[in-house]
Amino acid sequence: MKVLDSHFASEKLNQFKSDFQVEIVPDWGKGDRKSSGNWQTGSWARDELDVLYDTICLFAEIMGGNGKLIQQLGGITVQKTDIGSHGGEAYAHQVRFSKNGPVSPWTIVHECAHAWDANYGWKLSRELERYTYGFTSLFLSRLKKRLGFWDAGPNGKENAPGRQGRRPGCNHAGYFYGDKPSGSSWLFDRREDFAEAVAMYVGWERGNTLSDHARKRIVRYANFKNGEKDDFGVVDNWEDYARYFYPAGGDYTKTRRWKFVDELIQGKIIFK
C-alpha cells in the first residue's frame, strides 16, 4: 500500500467492517523506530482490497444479502502472511492469504467457504460428503492401492499424467468423492471438496469474475486429449478422467454438488 493510497485504504477497511463484519489486518503504515519511521508498504495493494471487497460482495449477493453472509460466516479477520507454498488457509472467523502474491476471486471464495464450514464445526463438508454419496476410508484407499486401482505412485502423487492421484479414494485422506466434482487432487478431501463446490457454484454460468475459471474446470475433460495441457497449464489424461468429472452434457448444474450448495444457501439442508 502506497502512502498515497492509505486514506482510501482506511475508508475501505471501515466499509469491510460495517458491510460484512470483515476485519482486515493492515500490514502497511508508518514504520516503528526499528524502520526509522519509514513508510511500510506491506503486501496489500489498493486494487487487491477492491478485488476482495467486490468478491465478498458477489458472494454475499449469491448467499442472499450481507446479513445472510454475516450470519453464516459469523465475521472474519483477514490477513496476508507467510503461509508457505499454498495460496490461502482458513479457520473459523479467520482467513489468511499468502503475502507472496495477489489474491484472486477464486481463492477468496474458496477460503471464505472454509471459514463458513469451520463456523459450523466443519459440518457443512460432512453433509456435502453424505449428500454426494461419498465417504472417507483410509483402509479402502490402501486396499485400492494394493489391488492396483491407483493413479498415483506408491508414496502419493507423481508429477506425470495419470499419476497425480485423482481417482476416488486415491488421495492422502482416503476420500472417495461421490457423484462428480469439478476435479480432484492428492490433497482433495471433504473440506477441499466443499470449498471448491462453493466456488464452482458462485462462478458457474453467472458471467462474473469466477465464471471463466469455473467453465475451464469443466470443459477441459471434453476439449483436451490425453497428454495435453489444460487452461491452467496442467498436463494430464483428460479424456480418461472425463468419466469421474465431466457432468451430463457438460452442465455443472446437473451435479449433486451444485444442488447441495443451492439447497444449503436456500436453507433447505437440515442438519442432524
Residues that bind Zn ion (CB under 5 A): 192, 195
Cβ 94 vs Cβ 76: under 8 Å: yes
Residue 129 CB, nearest distance to Zn ion (Å)? 15
| Closest residue to Zn ion: CB criterion | 195
What is the 8-class DSSP label of residue 162?
A: T
Residue 21 CB, nearest distance to Zn ion (Å)? 22
Distance CA(115)–CA(112), nearest Å, equals 5
Residue 107 CB, nearest distance to Zn ion (Å)? 9
Cβ 193 vs Cβ 176: under 8 Å: no
Distance set, CA 267 to CA 61, 191, 250 (Å): 15, 20, 27
Distance CA(130)–CA(128), nearest Å, equals 5
Distance set, CA 68 to CA 152, 166, 178, 196 (Å): 41, 34, 29, 20
Give 48 or 192: the residue with its C-beta nearer to Zn ion.
Answer: 192
Give 134 or 144: the residue with its C-beta nearer to Zn ion.
Answer: 134
Residue 226 CB, nearest distance to Zn ion (Å)? 28
The DSSP code sequence of 98-135 is ETTS---HHHHHHHHHHHHHHHTTTHHHHHHHHHTT-E
Residue 86 CB, nearest distance to Zn ion (Å)? 8
Give 83 or 140: the residue with its C-beta nearer to Zn ion.
Answer: 83
Give 170 or 195: the residue with its C-beta nearer to Zn ion.
Answer: 195
Give 46 or 126: the residue with its C-beta nearer to Zn ion.
Answer: 126
Q: Cell 489444460 maps to which residue?
A: 230
Cβ 269 vs Cβ 193: under 8 Å: no
Give 187 or 219: the residue with its C-beta nearer to Zn ion.
Answer: 187
Residue 116 CB, nearest distance to Zn ion (Å)? 12
What 3-state DSSP class applies to 95? strand
User: How many residues are there in the chain?
Assistant: 272
What 3-state DSSP class applies to 93? coil
Residue 40 CB, nearest distance to Zn ion (Å)? 29
Residue 41 CB, nearest distance to Zn ion (Å)? 28
Give 28 or 116: the residue with its C-beta nearer to Zn ion.
Answer: 116
Cβ 188 vs Cβ 177: under 8 Å: yes
Give 30 or 86: the residue with its C-beta nearer to Zn ion.
Answer: 86
